[in-house]
Structure 1
Amino acid sequence: MTTSFSALVPPATWLRITGAWVIVLLFALFGSQILGSSMSGFTAAWVFILLFVTILATAFGVVHEADHLAEQLGEPYGTLILTLSIVSIEVILIAAVLLGPVEAPSIAKDSIFAVMMIIMNLVVGICLITGAARNGDQEFNVQGASAYLSMIALLTGIALVLSNYTSTPGEFSSSQAVGISAFTLLMYVGFLWMQMRSHRRYFVQPPEGSMSIPKMTTTTTDKSASIDKKSALIRSAVLLALILPIVLLAHDLAVVTEFGITAAGLPPAVGGVLIAIIVFTPESITAVKAAINNELQRSVNLCQGAFVSTVGLTVPVVLLIGLLAGKQVIMGISNAEILLFMVTLALTMQSFGSQRTSPIQGYMHLVLFGVYGLLLFNP
């Protein structure tokens, strides 16, 4: 049965699209005057609030449309669409900051690290606690969680830790940047291919009492025949209409954010945290809802999959921007951050290394996130 156009694009969606494009038009016409060299602190404050609310509301719209596509396509395709849509917004915002008028060589590593701490500690902790409160200890596909954690250890270790031990600590040389970009992208694309094809069963909720799905077991119903192509096409167009304003407003947000951080004397890493909050708040809410609905594998796909995509897409993009635009790109994280990364990885392996999750680990993840917040403002 074909769904009507008005049901596919309700008034709330039209409001998001219209509002976002009105703001885009406003800054296209008057952006140079608003964000000029004479911009005051008051102007910067209201412009930041306007852009922050607009982009966040639009990001919620992106998640809403991607979530409907997820229901149509089934796992893991649906989660991949949602994750890639969100991560593409993050890459756009980081690129806008890198190419902006203010030098921000560490914005990529700050954003990646902030995403890791927010997604893998704050959101995972909330998922484990709220999911257990509603459903008791929850089950998931341990093969999928193991695959995600292996990718996180590999890609993050190469991008953020290895760069501290090159000839220029914290940075990659031109040839290293090309090689690291190629290896990261190839590994990420290969991982996605296996996730969608030969090893799709790793990322689907297993039957109760099982940690995995046997190779020959049919995990999900083939939805290809039942997909409403018209509905999928309309939702894809709406998704694009919501993502484009974020692309066009990213540069303006980058300018006013850097102005505010400098004026307030805040640590530069706060810029990365703001990007992570803008981008991943809608997806984080979706992950928590999935845990509450006893769909923990979907939460795992959203949280760990989001971070894998963040590293797999952000690292090649920012390194290539650095090469092509002649921008300095600092990828190495501090010793304290390396320790937080190692503890996060070890704790996550414990949390998702057994057949069922425990809320005890959830509280541990929250404490680790609190330590990160403490060190962010008190380095």
Structure 2
Amino acid sequence: MTAAIRSILTPTAILRLVLGWGAFAALLLVGPLLEPPVPAPLLITALVVIVGVILICAFGVVNEAEHLAHRLGDPYGSLVLTLSIVLIEVVLIAAVLLGPGDHTTIARDSVMAVSMIILNAVIGLCLLVGGLRHGDMAHNRTGTSTYLSLTIVLAALAFALPALIGTNGSYAHWQELPIIVLTIGIYAFFLYRQTGSQADDFVEVDERLTRAPAEAAGRSATGTEAGDAPVTVVEGEPVKHSIVDIISTHRTEIIVRLLLLVATVTPIVLLSHDMATLLDDGLGRLGAPVALSGVVIALIVFLPETITSIRAAWAGEVQRVSNLCHGAQVSTVGLTIPVVLVIGALTDQQIVLAESPANLLLFAVTLLLSVTTFAAKRVTAVHGAAHLVVFAIFGITLFS
């Protein structure tokens, strides 16, 4: 094992893997003991242990994500974390659909919960934290506008259109194919542009963040201090090497960190999925609404991304917040909807996507608020407070 790999696979990183996968294996072994109704002491103990393991693993995911983001730069670094979590979540939703029972609304409920959490709770908290610490923060309006444009289109296809042209909230079979093709097409085109010619639309533009690297690069002609991406100085201006050059130079580190990130985030999602039954049991005894369980699970699944976003906001990196949150939103809808529609068609299951009038109104308010918030050159703590209020209202509707 090389020194570079040993520096990544630290005892702490290995411990997180052992805890995460060990907890998942333990749940498989004691599964029969956790079948509802579970005795209250055992239920509470199991939930506390699961949440504790998830938190420990989440900090490991955040650590690897930040190293990758620093090495690759945005939008590539943020995209790695986002796709890792979203892809695993999509696989789990697909597994539920392919399993026993009736799960006609699982995709709709999951995506709606994730959308309200990302677009209101996480972004609201990030803007509040960043705004209170740094004041007004500049973001790259072209990149953020791209995210929001796709969010509006994909949300309309997922939540609104089925109620208008479908039957009982579901697309007709002949309508599903064009919806699948259009969704995959626009999402693939977005990724192609984001990682290609439009990559610069997703980098930080706040002078407080861009000035320091430029000055540091001006002081060093090589810019190859430990942990820094390769930089060349041309006439006093730093010129970052292309993503291909960076990957070629640091191939081993990037591959190992990618594998470690996926290996650490997978038990988080698996444990969250197993925890759903326990939560349903516990919340049912308390008389809480069933939908609340889905929101809690979504919060836990996206915990690593939430922590990473808040830390970025604390550092004043509001464009990275947008890359993480808006990127996760676009990826969640862009990947989940085609997958569940394909599974529904192959297994002859009804997939209900149309949302209730109350949730459609809240989602429309969320989109309008997002557009007005990020249309400004600088975002503030007040913008964040407004998003948090909408999320609070969403919480109220769960109990209505």
TM-score range, shorter chain: 0.7 to 0.9
Q: TM-score, normalised by structure 1?
A: 0.87
- 1:325 corresponds to which of 336, 347, 365: 347
Query: Using the alignment, how far apart are the partners of 1:92 and 1:218 within structure 2?
Result: 41
The verdict on how the C-alpha distance between 1:256 and 1:179 changes in structure 2, with shifts beyond 3 A counting, is farther
Q: Deviation of residue 331 (structure 1)?
A: 1.0
Distance 2:36 2:363 in 1: 39
Q: Displacement, 1:207?
A: 5.9
| 2:1 maps to 1:6 | no
Distance in 2, matches of 1:336 and 1:179, equals 28
Distance 1:264 1:184, change over 3 A: farther
- Displacement of 1:40 after TM fit? 4.6
Moved more, 186-195 or 272-281: 272-281
Which of these residues, 292, 301, 310, is aligned with residue 270 of structure 1?
A: 292
Equivalent in the alignment of 1:156: 155
In structure 1, the residue matched to 2:303 is 281
Question: Which one-letter code corresponds to 2:242 in the other structure?
Answer: D
Q: Work out whether residues 37 and 281 of structure 2, in 8 Å CA contact, stay in contact via their aligned partners in 1.
A: no
2:365 is equivalent to residue 336 of structure 1: no
Listed as ranges, the gaps of 5+ residues in structure 2 are 209-236
Q: Decide whether aligned partners of structure 1 residues 95 and 274 sit closer, same or farther in structure 2, where only a CA change above 3 A counts.
A: farther
Contact 2:84 2:262 in 1 (8 A): no
Cα pair distance change 1:248/1:112, threshold 3 Å = closer
Q: Does 1:66 align with 2:88?
A: no
Matched, 1:181 2:180: yes
Cα offset, 1:330, TM superposition: 1.7
Once residues 54 and 102 of structure 2 are traced to their aligned partners in structure 1, the CA distance between those partners, rounded to angstroms, is 23
Counterpart CA distance in 1 for 2:143 and 2:270 is: 36
C-alpha displacement of 1:93: 3.6
| Aligned Cα root-mean-square deviation (Å) | 2.6
- Is residue 19 from structure 1 mapped to residue 19 from structure 2 by the alignment? yes
Cα shift at 1:307: 0.6
User: How far, CA to CA, are the matches of 1:353 and 1:113 in structure 2?
Assistant: 24
Q: Contact (CA 8 Å) 2:113, 2:294: kept in 1 or not? A: yes
Which residue number corresponds to residue 115 of structure 2? 116
The CA distance in 2 between the partners of 1:285 and 1:256, in whole Å, is 24
Distance 1:247 1:132 in 2: 31
Distance in 2, Cα, partners of 1:109 & 1:92: 15
Distance in 2 (CA, whole Å) between partners of 1:294 and 1:338 is 32
**Structure 2 match to 1:104:** 103
Does structure 2 conserve the Cα–Cα contact (< 8 Å) formed by 1:63 and 1:86? no
- Which secondary structure state, in structure 2, belongs to the residue aligned with residue 352 of structure 1? helix
- The match for 2:274 among 252, 259, 278 is 252
Shift of 1:343: 1.0
Give CA deviations for 1:53-78 in whole Å, capped at 9, x if unaligned: 43454344333323322221111111
Residue of structure 2 equivalent to 1:94: 93
Partner Cα distance (1:49, 1:95) in 2: 27
Following TM superposition, by how much is the alpha carbon of 1:177 offset from its aligned partner in structure 2, in angstroms? 2.8
State how 1:277-316 maps to structure 2 within 5 Å.
277-316=299-338
How many residue pairs were aligned?
369
- In structure 1, runs of 5+ residues without a counterpart are 210-216
Per-residue deviation, residues 279-307 of structure 1 (Å, max 9, x unmatched):
12221121122122121110111111111
Say which is worse superposed, 279-288 or 341-350, in terms of deviation: 279-288
Taking a change above 3 Å as real, the CA distance of residues 44 and 325 of structure 1, as seen in their structure-2 partners, is farther
Q: Secondary structure at the match of 1:105?
A: coil
> Which residue in the other structure is 2:213 paired with?
none
Looking at structure 1, the residues matched to 71 and 105 of structure 2 have their Cα atoms a distance apart, in angstroms, of 39
What amino acid maps onto 1:367 in structure 2? V
| 151-160 or 319-328, which deviates more | 319-328
C-alpha separation in 2, matches of 1:36 and 1:360: 45
* Partner residue of 1:222 out of 224, 239, 242: 242
CA contact (8 A) 2:86 2:328 kept: yes
**SS, match of residue 378 in structure 2:** coil
Tell me how far 1:90 sits from its aligned partner: 2.3
Query: Residue 138 of structure 2: SS of its match in structure 1?
Result: coil
Indicate the residue corresponding to 1:134 in structure 2. 133
What is the SS of the residue equivalent to 1:4?
helix
> Identity of counterpart residues, as a percentage?
42
Counterpart CA distance in 2 for 1:41 and 1:101 is 27
Query: Which one has the largest radius of gyration?
Result: 2
| C-alpha contact (below 8 Å) 2:151/2:330 kept by paired residues | yes
Greater Cα shift, 183-192 or 234-243: 234-243
Q: Could you say if the C-alpha distance between residues 253 and 334 of structure 1 is closer, same or farther in structure 2, counting changes exceeding 3 Å?
A: same
Letter in 1 for 2:252: K
CA contact (8 A) 1:92 1:250 kept: no
1:193 paired with 2:192, answer yes
In the TM superposition, what is the alpha-carbon distance from 1:373 to its structure 2 partner?
0.9
| Residues 245/127 of structure 1: CA separation in 2 closer, same or farther (3 Å cut) | closer
SS at match of 2:188: helix
Task: Give how far 1:139 is off.
Answer: 0.5
Letter in 1 for 2:128: I
Letter in 1 for 2:151: I
* Alpha-carbon offset, residue 95 of structure 1: 3.1
- Tell whether 2:296 aligns with 1:236: no
TM-score of the superposed pair, with normalisation by structure 2: 0.83
**Worse overlay, 173-182 or 34-43:** 34-43
2:379 aligned partner: 357
Range 244-253 or range 180-189, more displaced: 244-253
* CA shift in 2, pair 1:286/1:319, >3 Å: same
Shift of residue 189, structure 1, vs aligned partner? 1.1
Residue 45 of structure 1: how far off its partner (Å): 4.2
Contact 1:142/1:355 (<8 A) preserved: yes
Contact 2:272/2:300 (<8 A) preserved: no
